[in-house]
Structure 1
Amino acid sequence: MFESIGWAEILVLIVAGLFILGPERLPEAAAWLGKTLRKVREYATGAREQLKSEIGPEFEEFRKPLEDLRKIRDFDPRRAVTKHLLNDLEDDYHHKPNGHAPSTSGQAPVVQPPVQRPLGYNERPPFDPDAT
């Protein structure tokens, strides 16, 4: 339930509660909050159990789309795009040189370009007159 709240946010909430409620009312407020959350959790569990008993075996069929929606909610587009792009580049570089699948029909192997090393201290980059 509180997966996105970290320890820093909890600490800020405690300090804010201490200033707003004061040290004498803060324990009472924390106890009330704990009881309320426990009741809400019990109501949700009871409702789920009641639905499960009334619907029967079809309940799992209804849960499957909800689990799919939960996966979509947890979807991180930045990580997915990065993974997709890097995997495609890696696959293209190692498995499909020049956009074709490697052949095993006796042809000469495709020579990979040499790996470029970083320039050393005071080392000049190579000069290519055709590139300018």
Structure 2
Amino acid sequence: DITVRFDANTAGVPWEFQPVARSVTIKIGETVQAHFSATNKFDRPFTGRATFNVQPELAGPYFNKVECFCFTDTTLKPGESLDMPVVFYVDPDIVNVPELKDLKTITLSYTMFPVDKNKPVASSAPA
């Protein structure tokens, strides 16, 4: 078994954003759903996108997200709250990594950043 801890932060996003549960203990290879909660505390709609980080870093390639709110932008109206699920599993191959053989805890951390809906992320116009 391995414990996955959850962490949530914001960077320039006027939201309350947190994991519904702080951690879950799972079997390696088991697919699990965890939930995060977000509430827009701003007086107008606001769009954010989450980036994620897995610690220890060496465990990152073995932490697989099947579904994640971090795959898309999220827009919340003023005062709106949203349940944001993530479905994941830890790849069984992690047990073959000598440096991770005693690993008991993985931390999945999300940071929510603002998305400027008025600016394209990439331009297809010729340079």
- Which structure has the bigger radius of gyration? 1
Give the structure-2-normalised TM-score. Answer: 0.21
Per residue, is there more helix in 1 or in 2? 1
Give the structure-1-normalised TM-score. Answer: 0.21
